[in-house]
Amino acid sequence: MGFMSKSPWVIHYDGSSCNGCDIEVLAALMPRYDLERFGIVNTGNPKHADILLLTGSINEQNRPVVRNIYDQMPEPKVVVAIGICATSGGIFRECYNVMGGADKAVPVDLYVPGCAVRPEAIIDAAVQAVGILEKKRAAMKVADRKKDHDTTDHH
Amino acid sequence: MSLLTGLLYVLFAPIAGGLLAGIDRKLTARLQGRIGPPLLQPFYDVGKLLLKENLVVRRSQNLFMEFFLVMTIFTGALMFSGGDFLLVIFALTLAGVFFVLGGFKSSSPYSFVGAHREALQMMSYEPAVILVAVGMYMVTGSFQIKEIVQYPKALIFDLPGIFMALLFILPIKFRKSPFDLSTSHHAHQEIVKGITTEFSGRTLALIEIAHWYEYVLVLFIGYLFFANNFWWGAFLALVVFELVILVDNAAARVRWQWMLGGAWISALVLGGLNVIFLMLRS
């Protein structure tokens, strides 16, 4: 277990959620579940964050916003779709303005269905997300080494 | 107090400062009815930040923060090697100026607000810190920290007013409520996290390490008031730190006018009366 998995900082974005899942996300950070036990901090700043928690479905209005937040996060990063709306669009998927789940805007690593999702499921997702973070960090290291190797080859 | 203690500071202050930050987070969690992160969490955070990608708006923004760290280390090394107190204060101010400039350089509205607030905080604590140096000079007859720590009596008995003025500004230096205006350890979603908005990865880790150095540095100023006995001094400096955390959890953040006014009034009234008393006595 490296440092990557010991201090995952999250940013939470509410796409077009009914606030049910948002309240559960915040509930997971409150004293009863206390996600800070695992070093999880709700940063509110994409540049400090490792995990992007998305709630609600994606539409034309919020797609660039979600994309922007995702692009501003430094590598390695993990995206978690929280709730059934972020997973697939949920009961809103037939709406004329809804495009679908969070994966319509950004690559999603973990899907956490539920309406509303339970805090236990969010904690489970966070624990799985740190595993993915570790893997992505390892992949980054390999890619860096390969890049260095390639540049030395060219010269 | 020699070059050796200065070197010890450079090597071990981040460890001590990180542990203090860990105690702070644990204690804060307990006060809020939570279990809280492990004691070593600040080290995990910095370790992680060092592994992350470093996104920048402008490359020079990182340079300012690197200088903030270097100047903070220099200030502390100067202090712990028994140097001139006035020079320490100037170096500390220069470190703060680099921090503010780094915030401005990253040119985001949030970091602008944060940098403004950091500048206001510097304005607030400066008079009290200078009064500490002046008061200690009036009692011990020297600005050299080497000689101040060798004064046979505890300075607190001669400088109670100045010590209280220092207590008032300690939350500013520790970035704690009620004066955590520019950057806070809580409230990550609010504007008070402003100055570090555009910093990520390695640079954010450097800022955190600089804050650890600052912790030890500022606690040492508190220690100077009890410096005639090392163990009592160290113990009381820690008590002061716990007091700051308690106040942090009990107090709400104030407006900057209150911070500036309060810090100046406490420095000028408590510290000023103390200085006048010393002048009359001599």
Would you call B50 and A42 a contact, using CB atoms and an 8 Å cutoff? no
Give A47 to chain B, closest Cα distance, Å: 6
Residue A155 touches partner B, C-beta closer than 8 Å: no
Give B42 to chain A, closest Cα distance, Å: 9
Would you call B51 and A137 a contact, using CB atoms and an 8 Å cutoff? yes
Residue A6 touches partner B, C-beta closer than 8 Å: yes
**pLDDT value at residue A1:** 58
| From B29, B52, B204, residue closest to A36, measured CB to CB | B29
**pLDDT value at residue B275:** 92
| From A2, A36, A74, residue closest to B34, measured CB to CB | A36
Would you call B55 and A72 a contact, using CB atoms and an 8 Å cutoff? yes
Residue A128 touches partner B, C-beta closer than 8 Å: no
| From A7, A37, A43, residue closest to B44, measured CB to CB | A7
The pLDDT tens digits of the residues spanning A67-118 come to 999 999 998 899 999 999 999 888 888 889 888 888 888 999 999 998 888 8
A140 contacts on B by Cβ (under 8 Å):
53
pLDDT in tens, chain B (282 residues): 778 888 888 889 999 999 999 999 999 899 988 888 999 999 999 998 998 888 888 888 889 999 999 999 999 999 999 889 999 999 999 999 999 998 888 888 888 888 888 899 999 999 999 999 999 999 998 899 888 888 888 888 889 999 999 999 998 888 888 888 877 777 777 776 778 888 888 889 999 999 999 999 999 999 999 888 889 888 998 999 999 999 988 888 888 889 899 999 999 999 999 999 999 987
Give B47 to chain A, closest Cα distance, Å: 6
Would you call B52 and A37 a contact, using CB atoms and an 8 Å cutoff? no
Would you call A39 and B41 a contact, using CB atoms and an 8 Å cutoff? yes
Query: Using 50, 70 and 90 to split pLDDT, how confident is the model at A150?
Result: low
| A149 pLDDT above the threshold of 80 | no
Closest chain B residue by Cα to residue A28? B34
- For the domain spanning A3-154, the CATH number is 3.40.50.12280
A74 contacts on B by Cβ (under 8 Å):
52-55, 200-201
Find, among B35, B36, B37, B40, the residue nearest to B19 by Cα: B40
Would you call A76 and B190 a contact, using CB atoms and an 8 Å cutoff? no
Helix/strand/coil for B253: coil
Residue A36 touches partner B, C-beta closer than 8 Å: yes
Best of A36, A78, A130 to substitute, by most chain B Cβ atoms within 10 angstroms, is A36
**pLDDT value at residue B129:** 92
Q: What is the pTM of this model?
A: 0.90
| From A7, A72, A76, residue closest to B45, measured CB to CB | A7
Give the number of beta-carbon pairs within 8 Å between A and B.
Answer: 78
A38 contacts on B by Cβ (under 8 Å):
37
Query: Using 50, 70 and 90 to split pLDDT, how confident is the model at A152?
Result: low
Would you call B47 and A3 a contact, using CB atoms and an 8 Å cutoff? yes
| From A34, A44, A74, residue closest to B34, measured CB to CB | A34
Find, among A99, A108, A119, the residue nearest to A28 by Cα: A119
Residue spans of the domains in chain A: they are 3-154
